[in-house]
Structure 1
Amino acid sequence: MVREVTADNAWRHLQAFQRIADRNNGIRASGTNGHLESAAYVEGRLRAAGYRTTRQPFTHADFDFLASSGRVVAPSARTLHPLVARFSANTPAGGLTARLAVVPTGTDATPGCEASDYAGADYRGAIALIAAGGCTNTVKQRTAAEAGAAAALINTNNPNPDMILRTRLTAADVRIPVASIGRGEAEALAADAARGPVTLTVDLRGRARTVTTFNVIAETPTGRADNVVMLGAHLDGVTEGPGINDNGSSSAMELETALQLARHFKQVRNKVRFAWWGAEEHGDLGSGAYVAALTEREKADLALYLNFDMIGSPNYARMVYDGDDSDHEGAGPGPEGSAQIEKVLTDFHGSRGLPTVGRDFDGRSDYGPFIAAGIPAGGETSGSNLIKTEQWARLFGGRAGQSLDWCYHQACDDLRNVNRTIFGQLGAGMAWATGRFALSTGGVVPDDPAERARQRAAAKHGLARPAADTE
């Protein structure tokens, strides 16, 4: 499998995703024609290889962006570039004009999260400028609203001063209009406010709607149906760009892995199921819908889940999901068997002289619903907007202090953004793990589904991770 699943062949699928985005307003987001065409491409290739494909439909709340603009009115006029949050409250048509009030940060690790952060200043009717981090942006805007703020601008706080990452709010708890802005603009606004009063106008409006979308599922016709090995990658992108690294890279490599596995149907001992998730960018909704629909028996029959999300990042780290969280501070371990999945992948890369680092299970991808259900999970990623450390730069090269993917959720996430070296290396890991587990899950999880069910019930992990609110 490792020799058969090549980066060159998978690259052709990535090129197809790019062409699909190009003819669909540059996007492949859930609920758009770009996503529909991407799914049709995947399904067509799978069916030609002998798979039967199914679509699992589900609905979810979405948000049409109607207005997202801003400007400094005084002391000197200039244009701002706010990105309205998904499910934000609306300003009046034409915008809201108000004074700027900067929420102090100092050494506070939770800026704008607590009422005390707003003590000593008047935020009534103001547009609050809030630093990132410490709590969800939903909490930040609620706390700002309780202090009297009329709107909030939240600093993306990325080393790239122009990068703006859209935030997603919990609709039921939205109080005021909210937008994210880049670090450069946030710092300039804070400097202006330090010199004297600043007046802004922001026009932030959108409209909630319901979208019907789907997951694409395919599985081998051979292998044990009570010892299923599952792979997943989200097929949808964001509305800001074509989503070629995020997550066309993993979707393309998963497709090539499935196509090459089709040549070995007769050798497959454990059924292998492939998923291309919808609406991951809305909070892992496709994988969540899938797991929610499983019966207890179907969960017991599912031996393990492998997740792949962004495997071609230009400033990459070679990361394997951290199944036991023993080597660094993180969000916690995965269910029993997750550490063993991690070892299978790290041992493979190690055998090729390629070091890896752990990646926390922190709720930022489609493994979340599986580990919450007690299903062992693992997989690979090359990184999103995480910042490359000096240690990682020594291990992998690249630029310390910068995002692992500096085009994350941006219009520049196109073919030119994908690093073919890490794309091929993590693709080889995907192929290796697929072939290994298609033959045996021994040494990782019990072969007997009844024993797995007992093990999972005894563990009672409760490992649900909240989805990140930066999209």
Structure 2
Amino acid sequence: MQRRMRKIGVGATLAVAGVVAASALAPSANAAGKPSDDGAFAISKGFRKAVTLQGIKEHLVALDEIAGDGNRIAGSENYNKSVAYVQERLEAVGYDVDVQPFEFLYNADVTLPELERVSPSPMVFSEGSEFASMTYSGNGDVTAAVTVVGVGDASPGCEPADFAGFPAGHIAVIPRGGCTFFAKGSNAQAAGASAVVVYNHLDGMLNGTLGGPGVTIPVVGTTTQVGLELSQPSTTARVKVDRVNETRTTYNVIAETATGDPNNVVVVGAHLDSVVRGAGINDNGSGSATILEVAEVFAQQDREAKSKLRFAWWGAEELGLLGSRHYVANLSEEELAKIRLNLNFDMIGSPNYVRFVYDGDNSAFGTDVSAEGPAGSGAIEAVFHDYFAKAGMASAETPFSGRSDYGPFIGVGIPAGGLFTGAEGVKTAEQAAIFGGEAGVAYDVCYHQACDNLSNINMKGLDEMSDAVAHSVLTFANRDFAKAGLVDPAGPVSGTTTTTEGGGLHDDHDHEEETE
């Protein structure tokens, strides 16, 4: 049953419903299985030109100023100011705006965590680059001997038997893999561990979540190197975590076009919140500002839509996709059946960017790496690749992992897709040769850091990606889903480049619960 949404500010209350069935959608395909030119590229030209980088930057500047030297984390006053800014801009161009409140468990560092090797050879590790406390970690300041668990196992620390003989009071050091971080932490706690360190098996820092409360001892994630340093024989370590854990209220912002078939809805979403460390201007001011500019231009041009566009700015994504999950969970089956697709734009201005498109048809990565895209997701993917090809720009693919706000939509069978320019993953030499930038360097070196401010945006990349956003939104706004039984292209959809393993995916996003 849908809950009514409390309106904040001026304007009529909009009944925000969910939309579409998982009916397949796609551009028409030729014999080779590639989308044909249906004129959409030419049709979107004027709209793309009207959606300007200057307009997007105006919104980014506003979000950066709201954050100041702090952040825009959900549940904070600065996040509420971000909500008010988006609402005010939308209402100024004629949208009726709903602000959907929901309660959530706010969990964040009160003081920065600490991790060090006390002996042998004392070593202090850097918070934010070498380690981070896990969301929903317990609190404590522990100095104790280290015991390593599960090295060489396929699922280290995933079973209580893995801790047989574990010395009570020791700090458990466990490799990533095989189960959720919560399972590792729970098993370690039950065995008498005083703290847990989980280290990565991929490049970069493990920045994870336990998924919810329940583990009362400190739990941190680290890089591979830190884990190996702490795994040395006769190591004593110190782990300190001080997090707040309380119920707060935060908001989604929803606005939809006046025109368009209410039985055929396209949800265009981006998360509005940041992490606690900084302003979150690439992650995800870039997506939020872009869809705000697109929504404004659509209204200012007084465009007619065949499909109804529903723009959504999600809250508390960084704490577990909470806003989009709340939204989808509170739609009736009838409302869900009206949603034809979800477009998601999370991080589209990375400084060392690649033009990544989500692998909706699982042709590049497969379901062993990606979530399975509902029927029609390959069609969305094809629209993006087709656009980039016609614009003379290369595109690549990133796993359709479900680790951003399209996850709840694909979870109920709604096709989804979108764009991404990379997070903490490292750009390959092949990608640098094709897309420019620097090989061997992260796509976004400021990912989830205090330096993710206005200076962290690659304006050229954002300009390119925002044109693709505008094209896709207008293309699907012009689709008459009631008249056409659209299907995925015949054969795999692929970009104009080979796709490297990982595809720039932010594997260790704060809302990641599972280890693989």
Tell whether the structures are fold-level matches, with TM greater than 0.5.
yes
One-letter code aligned to 1:312: G
Alignment of 1:89-238 (within 5 A): 89-91=138-140, 95-103=141-149, 105=151, 110-114=155-159, 122-156=166-200, 159=203, 164=205, 166-174=207-215, 176-183=217-224, 185-190=226-231, 193-194=232-233, 197-238=234-275
Alignment of 1:57-456 (within 5 A): 57-67=101-111, 68-80=113-125, 81=127, 83-91=132-140, 95-103=141-149, 105=151, 110-114=155-159, 122-156=166-200, 159=203, 164=205, 166-174=207-215, 176-183=217-224, 185-190=226-231, 193-194=232-233, 197-329=234-366, 330-441=369-480, 446=485
One-letter code aligned to 2:248: V
* Structure 2 counterpart of 1:5: 51
- Asked if the contact 2:349–2:421 (Cα under 8 Å) also holds between the matched residues in 1, the reply is yes
Output the CA distance in 2 between the equivalents of 1:349 and 1:371: 24
Output the CA distance in 2 between the equivalents of 1:147 and 1:391: 46
One-letter code aligned to 2:63: F
Output the CA distance in 1 between the equivalents of 2:319 and 2:483: 31
- Residues 286-331 of structure 1, C-alpha deviations (whole Å, 9 max, x = no match): 1111111212222122221111100011222211111111133332
One-letter code aligned to 1:224: D
- Asked if the contact 2:356–2:420 (Cα under 8 Å) also holds between the matched residues in 1, the reply is yes
- Residues 342-365 of structure 1, C-alpha deviations (whole Å, 9 max, x = no match): 111110011112222222221210
Aligned length: 439
Q: Secondary structure at the match of 1:208?
A: strand
One-letter code aligned to 1:398: G
One-letter code aligned to 2:285: G
Output the CA distance in 2 between the equivalents of 1:116 and 1:389: 40
- Aligned-pair distance for 1:264? 3.2
> Which structure 1 residue ranges, 5 or more long, are not aligned?
448-465
Output the CA distance in 2 between the equivalents of 1:404 and 1:139: 31
- Asked if the contact 2:109–2:244 (Cα under 8 Å) also holds between the matched residues in 1, the reply is yes
Bigger helix share: 1
Q: Secondary structure at the match of 2:103?
A: strand
Distance verdict in 2 for CA 1:33–1:276, change over 3 Å: same
Distance verdict in 2 for CA 1:102–1:443, change over 3 Å: farther
- Aligned-pair distance for 1:445? 7.1
- Aligned-pair distance for 1:150? 2.0
One-letter code aligned to 1:361: F
Output the CA distance in 2 between the equivalents of 1:384 and 1:51: 33
Matched, 1:51 2:95: yes
Distance verdict in 2 for CA 1:50–1:275, change over 3 Å: same
Output the CA distance in 2 between the equivalents of 1:123 and 1:252: 52
- Aligned-pair distance for 1:158? 6.5
Output the CA distance in 1 between the equivalents of 2:279 and 2:115: 25
Root-mean-square deviation (CA), in Å?
2.7
- Select between 249-258 and 39-48 the one with higher mean Cα deviation: 39-48
Output the CA distance in 1 between the equivalents of 2:375 and 2:226: 46
One-letter code aligned to 2:363: S
One-letter code aligned to 1:412: C
- Aligned-pair distance for 1:140? 2.4
- Asked if the contact 2:307–2:481 (Cα under 8 Å) also holds between the matched residues in 1, the reply is no
> Which structure 2 residue ranges, 5 or more long, are not aligned?
1-46, 487-509
Output the CA distance in 1 between the equivalents of 2:88 and 2:340: 28
One-letter code aligned to 1:102: V
In the superposition, the TM-score normalised over structure 1's length comes to 0.85
* Structure 2 counterpart of 1:451: none
One-letter code aligned to 1:73: V
- Aligned-pair distance for 1:334? 1.5
Output the CA distance in 2 between the equivalents of 1:77 and 1:326: 48
Output the CA distance in 2 between the equivalents of 1:34 and 1:11: 19
* Structure 1 counterpart of 2:65: 19
Distance verdict in 2 for CA 1:439–1:47, change over 3 Å: same
* Structure 1 counterpart of 2:35: none
One-letter code aligned to 2:458: N
Q: Secondary structure at the match of 1:265?
A: coil
- Aligned-pair distance for 1:378? 1.1
Output the CA distance in 2 between the equivalents of 1:178 and 1:10: 39
Distance verdict in 2 for CA 1:327–1:189, change over 3 Å: closer
Task: Identify the structure with bigger relative contact order (alpha carbons < 8 Å, sequence gap 6+).
Answer: 2
In the superposition, the TM-score normalised over structure 2's length comes to 0.78
Distance verdict in 2 for CA 1:116–1:403, change over 3 Å: farther
